[in-house]
Structure 1
């Protein structure tokens, strides 16, 4: 179970880091014209960049606390925050009729819920 949780957290961290760097570094107008990025045309630059920074922090929060042994409770807390972020993403893509992206967000939500459950429960780092 521990290995499964590490893999799930690692996958989520990779997704969060990739998405966060893209949202932080790529101009919003470019994002708006890319597949799945149309929603960025409806919001401001600051919102997109802030979301990107939060995603980069989530990537760190999903793995670093456990790796370095400092405040490992942040791993499941970050996973819960990722669940909430995915709910918002699903609502946003649902309003735009992007069902394939909603399904992808649901898969990320399920992985994050698994990490939160596992790290708060049977495979906690809090010994």
Structure 2
């Protein structure tokens, strides 16, 4: 499989994860927290903060896919990937502060995937080049 195809697959996977994660905008915090240790973090944030995080996730999902598909400002794909990496860096830091070392693994995997997309689209496989 080509690097370009892998970059598309990873960008689509990240966009999907980000869209699924926006459920925090629609599901009450108490219900998410009741799921277990991995969901308790939502209680550290106000409903407004969770809506803002969810909005950023929707924008990030769009930014990973739409600029490339529409061929409008395709440079926004790797820029968005850097922003997604920062988002997951923040998530990992929050998990460490909460002592949730077991649940940090997914955040680190998504962080790595975002870095991969940024590297690939800034470097060897830029879009619209």
Q: How far apart in 2 are the matches of 1:105 and 1:76?
A: 19
* 1:87-98 matches, cutoff 5 A: 87-98=89-100
- 1:82 and 2:84 equivalent? yes
Identify the match of residue 119 of structure 2 among 111, 117, 120: 117
Cα contact 2:71–2:128 (8 A) shared by 1: no
Q: How far apart in 2 are the matches of 1:126 and 1:65?
A: 10
Deviation of 1:13 after TM superposition, in Å, equals 0.4
Q: Deviations over 1:22-76 (max 9, x none)?
A: 0111112222222312111112110011101110111111111100101111110
Deviation of 1:8 after TM superposition, in Å, equals 0.6
- Please list every run of 5 or more consecutive structure 1 residues that lacks an aligned counterpart in the other structure: none
Aligned residues: 126
Identify the match of residue 16 of structure 1 among 1, 8, 18: 18
TM-score (structure 1 length as normaliser): 0.94
Partner of 1:6: 8
Q: How far apart in 2 are the matches of 1:43 and 1:61?
A: 25
Deviation of 1:96 after TM superposition, in Å, equals 1.7
3-state SS of paired residue (1:122): coil
- Please list every run of 5 or more consecutive structure 2 residues that lacks an aligned counterpart in the other structure: none
TM-score (structure 2 length as normaliser): 0.93
CA RMSD after TM alignment: 1.0
Q: How far apart in 1 are the matches of 2:53 and 2:105?
A: 20
